[in-house]
Structure 1
Amino acid sequence: MNIGFEKIAPTPGYPAGTTAAALIGLTWESRANVAIAFRGGLKLALRTVQLGRCCFCRRHLYDDYATHLEHFVDKATFPRFAYEIRNLALSCGTCNIRKNAYFSTWDRRYRFMTRNFVGPVLIRCPVLSVALNSCDAFPAIPANFSWVNPHFHNYSQHILVARGWVFEGQSPEGRRTIRSLKLNEVGQIERRALAERLEARGGALSMLVGAISVLDQHRANDVKDAIIKVIRRRREAAKASGGN
C-alpha cells in the first residue's frame, strides 16, 4: 500500500524569521514571536515533505486542528531538544494520544524501577536505545533509536502496511513501534471512517465511486461490509420516516 514517504528528507530548515540561537532557552509553549513563527512555519514545511501523512501510521492528515507537531524524543524529559527540527514531525491525533499514553506509563514504571538507585539516575526515553547525559547532543544515527524514527529510518524497511491498514513489523524497531502505538487498531478506526464517508455521499452511484476509490487502502470485504451497513441504515431511516 502507498505510504506516501519513506522518511523526512530533506530536513526542513528553520522557518523565515527564526534561528536556532534565537530559540535557545524558550519553552515549547512560549508566546514569543520567534517561537510562534517557528511552530507555524515548520508545521507547513513538514506537511509538504511528509506529503500530508502521519509520521507514524502514514494515514492522511486532514483537518489542521487534528494534526500534531510531535516531539519524537519527549520534550518534558529533554527540553533542550524542544526546537530541534530533527526531533519534530507531524502526527495524527490518534498516534499522538497513544504515544503520550505509552510515554506516561513507561515513565511511571521507570521511576518505580529506579526509586532505590543511589547516585544520579540515567536519563532515558522509550524511543531511544541509548541513555543521554545532560550535555549530550541530539542523537543523529538510526541505531540510537529503538522506534522507527521519521527522520532517520526508511519506513518500509521496518514496517509494511497492507491493505486494510494491517501493520507488519520487519525489524525490532518496527515491531516495537507497532506494539507501542497499537497501530493495528488503526484498521478499526479507518473502517468506521470509511462507512461515515460513504454515508455522506448522496446516491448509490456516488457511493459506488467512493468505494472504488479506496480499494487501494481497504480490503474488498471491508468495503463491501461498509456499503452494506450504509444501505441498511438508509433503509431503516426510510422505514422510520415512513412510519411517522
Structure 2
Amino acid sequence: MINIGFERIEPVPNYPDGTSAATLSGLTWSSGTNQVSSFKVGIKKALRKSQFARCCFCRRLMYHDYATHIEHFVDKGGYPAYTFEIRNLALACGTCNTNKNGYFSTWAKRFSKRYMIRGIPYNAYCPVLKNQILGNVNFPTSSAEFRWVNPYVHNYSEHIEIKKGWFFHGKTPEGKRTIRGVKLNDVGVVEKRALSERLEARGGKLSMLVGALGELEQHRARDVVEVVVAAIKRRRQ
C-alpha cells in the first residue's frame, strides 16, 4: 500500500491573519482585493501543512506551488456562499483539479435541460452532494451529506485504497464515485511516465538500478523492471 500522508484535514485551519468570514462576505474569488489575496496566500500555506503537502484526491506529493490548486469541494459557481468557507477548501494537484472541473462541466451540461424543465437552476446541484442545498444554510459537515469522499469528514482509507503503481480501488460508493469523477486511475499512467523520466535522467546503469530500487516503495516491481529494460534498450540504440 502507498502512504497516503493523512486521513482527513483536522483540525480545520483558521482564517489567515487579517481575514475573516465577515470581511470576505460579498467578495468573489476573483476579486483583486487585499483581503482575498491575503486569504488565498494564507489558506494555501495552512492547507499545505495540514495535508502534508499531498493532494486531497490522489494523495501524491505536491512539489511545485504553481501546480498546486486551491480546490472548492462544493462548486463555488453553484454555491457562491461557500466560496470562502474553509471546510470547502483543500489543496489539489493540477491533474486532479482539472479532471474534477471537467467532470463538473460535463455533468452540468448533461442535466441542465432536465432541471430547466423542472424550473430549478441546475447549477444549484453539485455531484459531491447527496441533496441540493437551498437557502442560506451552514455548510454541511456530516459525512452522510456527501456522495464523494470529503477531505474534512471522511477517513480516506475507509473509502479508497491506493495500491502500488497508483491503482485506486473504491471500497465504498463514495470512494468509487470520487475515483470515477476525478479519473484517479489515470494517475498511474502519469506516474509511470514520471518514473521513466526520473530513471532516464540518472547517469550509468548502476545509478539507474540504485534509483530503481528506491522506486519500489510506490511502484510495482514489474513496472520498474519494464521501465529499466526499456531505458537500457534505448541507450544501446
Q: CA RMSD in A?
A: 1.2
Alpha-carbon deviations, 1:4-26, whole Å to 9, x = none?
11011111111111111110011
Q: Secondary structure at the match of 1:128?
A: coil
List aligned pairs for 1:214-225, cutoff 5 A.
214-225=215-226
Matched residue SS, 1:13: coil
3-state SS of 1:4 partner: coil
Unaligned runs of 5+ residues in structure 2 are none
TM-superposition CA deviations, 1:84-140 (whole Å, max 9, x none)? 11001011111011100000011111212123224x447210000111013121111
Correspondence for 2:94: 93
Q: Which amino acid aligns with 1:153?
A: H
Q: How high is the sequence identity, in percent, across the aligned residues?
A: 56
- Letter matched to residue 22 of structure 2: A
Bigger Cα displacement from structure 2, 158-167 vs 207-216 = 207-216
Instruction: Look up the match of 1:19.
Output: 20
1:73 counterpart = 2:74: yes
Aligned amino acid, residue 202 of structure 2: R
Q: 1:155 aligned to 2:156?
A: yes
Structure 1 residue 182 displacement after superposition: 1.4
Structure-2-length-normalised TM-score? 0.96
In the other structure, the counterpart of 1:58 is 59
Query: Which amino acid in 2 is paired with 1:125?
Result: C
Q: What stretches of structure 1 of length at least 5 have no aligned partner?
A: 237-244
Alpha-carbon displacement from aligned partner over 1:193-222 (angstroms, at most 9, x marks no partner): 100111112222322222111211100000
Matched residue, 2:83: 82
Superposition deviation, residue 234 in structure 1: 2.1
Which residue does the alignment assign to 1:9? 10
1:36 is aligned to 37
How far, CA to CA, are the matches of 1:153 and 1:98 in structure 2?
A: 21
Question: Bigger CA drift: 93-102 or 121-130?
Answer: 121-130
Partner Cα separation in structure 1 for residue 157 and residue 147 of structure 2: 16
Q: Distance in 2 between matches of 1:234 and 1:183?
A: 32
Choose 1 or 2 for highest CA Rg. Answer: 1
Counterpart in 2 of 1:135?
A: 136
